[in-house]
Amino acid sequence: MLKKVSQAWNSGPGPKSAKEYLVLILKGLCMGMADIIPGVSGGTMAFITGIYGQLIDSIRSFDFVFFKKVLTFDFSGAIERAHLKFIIPLLFGILLAMVSVANIIHYFLVQHPVPLWSLFFGLIAASIFVVGRRTGTFSYSNFFIGMLGAVGSYYLVGMIPVTTPNDLWFVFLCATVAICAMILPGISGAFILLLLGKYEYITGALRNPALPGNITVLLVFIVGCAVGISLFSRVLHYFLERYHNATISLLTGFMAGAMRKVWPWKEVLDSVTIRGKVHVLSETNVLPPAFDSTFWLAVFLALVGFAAVLFLEWMSSARNG
């Protein structure tokens, strides 16, 4: 049994060496750090690090056949079916970032927001350039689709949260939408929950999961996430396979529109404090107040982020070539 499981694991898609495992964990760290930042998506980091397609395929691998093999105790067949060799190191990196880096990211968000946002601004700006080149030959239809994605994302990240019902059907709906946003570049799942008025409700349930009512809420939320990401990954894979250039154009537009959220200089218009943490409800982008040392540090970090993505792209191209 153990020999079959080992063979199934080694034959599955994913890293082949200790170095590749480490690189994948580091990419997971990048995704986890991005998910911690309000308004920044782990999907953006997946795009930047070149694993977006593998991520979608890995999510799709957990299908009916996989669960059937698990229920019939065909563990080697289940491991061979699912992309566990890829998804486990990636999830380890994501969780490691959320546990170990969350306080550091929070510190910089509160104490030094301009340098941190500048770094992300450079990362996403370069990723728009890198990913945009994958659309192939220029066409007006793809350009129009990209503009639609940019406009939609631009207005989405600027929306103000609303008050919504706490009914279980709405919790399920929120979960399906939020988890989809987490794998879309440029859109944060936590931000979607905030927009839908369910961020405080869900995080409150997470803080007290043992309460009978909260257990039900969390179970419904988990089921909604599972259903949402399972269906959406298949829809996204379908469009990437059938309409690759148009889909990449739309996703590039999402990232371009989300640049509104990562502009370093902001003025808060409205905010709310939830369990000791301040969450911005409404803000506006402003010009740098002065061309001082903070400004030049922000420019430097934006260039560092931009150069880092171009370097990753060059390394990926050299390795594949």
CA pair distance 56, 88, nearest whole angstrom: 14
In the DSSP assignment, the letter for residue 187 is -
Report how many domains make up the chain.
1
Q: Considering the domain boundaries, does residue 142 fall inside one? A: no
Q: What is the pLDDT of residue 7?
A: 60
Range of the domain at 73: 1-105
pLDDT tens profile 49-81: 778 888 888 888 887 887 887 788 777 777 777
Query: What pLDDT score does 244 carry?
Result: 84
Q: Answer whether residue 231 is part of any domain.
A: no
In a domain, 5, yes or no: yes
**For residue 192, is it within any domain?**
no
Please give the mean pLDDT across all residues of the chain: 80
In a domain, residue 116? The reply is no
**Residue of 319 and 117 predicted with greater confidence:** 117
**For residue 272, what pLDDT band results from cuts at 50, 70 and 90?**
low
| Model confidence band, residue 147 (pLDDT cutoffs 50, 70, 90) | very high
CA distance 69 to 82: 10
- Give the residue from 46, 29, 47, 208 showing the smallest Cα distance to 104: 29
Give pLDDT, residue 304: 92
pLDDT at 207: 73
Say if 29 falls within a structural domain. Answer: yes
Could you tell me if residue 188 is inside a domain?
no
Q: What is the largest CA-CA distance in the chain?
A: 67
Tell me, what's the pLDDT at 268?
78
* Per-residue pLDDT tens digits for 202-253: 877 877 777 878 889 889 998 998 888 888 888 888 888 888 889 889 888 8
In a domain, 306, yes or no: no
Six-digit token string for 185 = 């570049």
Q: What is the pLDDT of residues 2-16, one digit of tens each?
A: 566 566 556 666 677
Report the Cα 75 to chain-centroid distance in Å: 30
pLDDT of the residue at 266: 86
Express each pLDDT in 252-270 by its tens digit. 888 888 788 788 998 877 7
Is the model's pLDDT at 299 over the cut of 80? Answer: yes
